[in-house]
């Protein structure tokens, strides 16, 4: 009886050991299988239609670029990329929506610089611009150009500043907190001018005011100001970009007169944090190809947009590099968080 009991106990211990081994193996194998399944799904991406979220109205530059990029991605990846406009709170609603989306590559954020660099500084938002997204690639960048009414006797930045220091001037923008507003405020601050900000509803109204002489200066998009040069009513003094524009090689940068003074608005793709790296890299590869496609580049240039196509690492570095400039501009504009 004792021998039988001993034999049964030994068998039980052996079975328990086997179960422990099996359980241990299961615990090890399960994560490996899950990782392999995730990797396989990422490799197969996109296996269904992809939503491209835009925080601004249809017809604006950001929306037009998003549709341009989505069309090219649809063609190259043989899958539908569908633009969805989620408007409100200066683009913050769209950003929050993507931040809370599943990190599976099927909800993309076609963002503009203000949604990352400006809006979170000025209002309460339901996302963290640094933690909730992973940069993928900049598709295009909209340079801001300093234009003045041609009745002002100045052909260079130095001449304009000398003129402006003899009187009180004003400058227009497409709204409080817009990049145009901040670029103007930063320039006024660096040049030591006494100037009044006049906000309008949209760049079209600002351009009309500049042409009509109601305002003295305006940092506008190339599409706003370049066509007006031929009319003889606007003089272009400088570009708020790190380097001179290819389209305007004879127009100096603001930084050539006031170092470290540049503000530009990029548009590019971001994904929710924790998106698999395989998807990030694959999307980046195709966005870069789309931005550098000769046909796409020509379309962007027609809008006054500089084609880009950056790697995720380059995009992340750009965001970090530009944030201090935006912070300085917000202080110069004397804007306070809501």
Give the separation between CA 141 and CA 134, rounded to whole angstroms.
18
Sorted by sequence, the CB contacts under 8 Å of residue 209 that are 6+ apart come out as: 172, 198, 200, 215, 218
Question: How distant is the alpha carbon of residue 7 from its chain centre?
Answer: 72
N-term to C-term CA, the chain: 84
SS3 label, residue 214: coil
pLDDT computed for residue 304 by the predictor: 85
Going by pLDDT thresholds of 50, 70 and 90, the confidence category of residue 60 is: confident
Which helix (DSSP H) or strand (DSSP E) does residue 199 occupy?
strand 195-199
Mean pLDDT of 217-241: 90
Radius of gyration, CA atoms only, the chain = 27
**pLDDT tens column, 269-295:** 999 999 999 999 999 999 999 999 999
pLDDT computed for residue 159 by the predictor: 97
**pLDDT tens column, 165-186:** 999 999 999 899 999 999 999 9
- Comparing CA positions, the residue from 203, 254, 201, 207 lying closest to residue 229 is 207
Residue 282 DSSP symbol:
H
User: Both tokens of residue 301?
Assistant: 């240039």
pLDDT computed for residue 260 by the predictor: 80
Could you tell me the strand order of the sheet in which 50-54 lies? 81-85, 50-54, 107-112, 265-272, 133-142, 306-307
**pLDDT tens column, 7-55:** 444 444 454 444 444 455 544 444 444 444 445 456 799 999 999 999 9
Sorted by sequence, the CB contacts under 8 Å of residue 28 that are 6+ apart come out as: none
Q: Helices H, strands E: what count in the chain? A: 12, 11
pLDDT computed for residue 112 by the predictor: 96
Which helix (DSSP H) or strand (DSSP E) does residue 149 occupy?
strand 144-149
Q: Is the pLDDT of residue 248 over 80?
A: yes
**pLDDT tens column, 79-137:** 999 999 999 999 999 999 999 999 999 999 999 999 999 999 999 999 999 999 999 99
Mean pLDDT of 321-333: 94
**pLDDT tens column, 303-317:** 889 999 999 999 999
98: burial class by Cβ within 10 Å (0-12, 13-18, 19+)?
buried
Give the separation between CA 287 and CA 136, rounded to whole angstroms.
8
pLDDT computed for residue 34 by the predictor: 47
Task: Spell out the domains of the chain, with CATH numbers in brackets.
Answer: 50-142+264-332 (3.40.190.150), 144-256 (3.40.190.10)
Q: Is the dihedral of CA 289, 267, 300, 81 positive or negative?
A: positive
Q: Is the pLDDT of residue 261 over 70?
A: yes
Give the mean pLDDT of the chain.
88
pLDDT computed for residue 41 by the predictor: 58
Question: How distant is the alpha carbon of residue 53 from its chain centre?
Answer: 12
């Amino acid at each position: 009886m004792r021998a039988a009991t001993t034999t049964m106990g030994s068998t039980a211990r052996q079975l328990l050991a086997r179960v422990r081994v099996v359980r241990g193996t299961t615990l090890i194998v399960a994560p490996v299988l899950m990782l392999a399944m995730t990797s396989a799904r990422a490799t197969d991406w996109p296996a269904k239609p992809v939503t491209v979220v835009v925080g601004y109205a249809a017809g604006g530059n950001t929306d037009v670029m998003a549709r341009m990029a989505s069309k090219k991605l649809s063609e190259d990846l043989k899958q539908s990329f569908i633009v969805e406009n989620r408007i409100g709170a200066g683009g913050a609603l769209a950003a929050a929506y993507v931040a809370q989306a599943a990190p599976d590559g099927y909800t993309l954020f076609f963002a503009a610089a203000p949604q990352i660099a400006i809006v979170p500084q000025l209002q309460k938002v339901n996302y963290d611009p640094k933690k909730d997204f992973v940069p993928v690639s900049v598709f295009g960048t909209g340079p801001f150009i300093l234009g003045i009414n041609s009745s002002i006797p100045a052909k260079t930045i130095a001449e304009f500043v000398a003129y402006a220091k003899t009187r009180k001037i004003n400058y227009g923008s497409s709204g409080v907190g817009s990049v145009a507003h901040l670029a103007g405020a930063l320039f006024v601050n660096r040049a030591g001018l006494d100037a009044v900000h006049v906000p309008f509803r949209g760049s079209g109204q600002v351009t009309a005011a500049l042409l009509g002489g109601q305002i003295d200066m305006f940092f506008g998009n190339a599409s706003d100001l370049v066509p007006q040069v031929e009319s003889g009513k606007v003089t272009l003094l400088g570009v708020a970009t790190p380097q001179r524009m290819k389209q305007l090689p004879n127009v100096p940068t603001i930084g050539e007169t006031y170092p470290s003074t540049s503000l530009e608005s990029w548009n590019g793709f971001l994904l929710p944090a924790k998106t698999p790296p395989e998807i990030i890299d694959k999307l980046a590869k195709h966005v870069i190809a789309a931005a550098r496609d000769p046909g796409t580049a020509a379309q962007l240039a027609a809008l006054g947009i500089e084609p880009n196509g950056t790697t995720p690492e380059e995009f992340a570095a750009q965001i970090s590099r530009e944030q201090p400039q935006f912070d300085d501009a917000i202080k110069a504009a004397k804007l306070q968080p809501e």
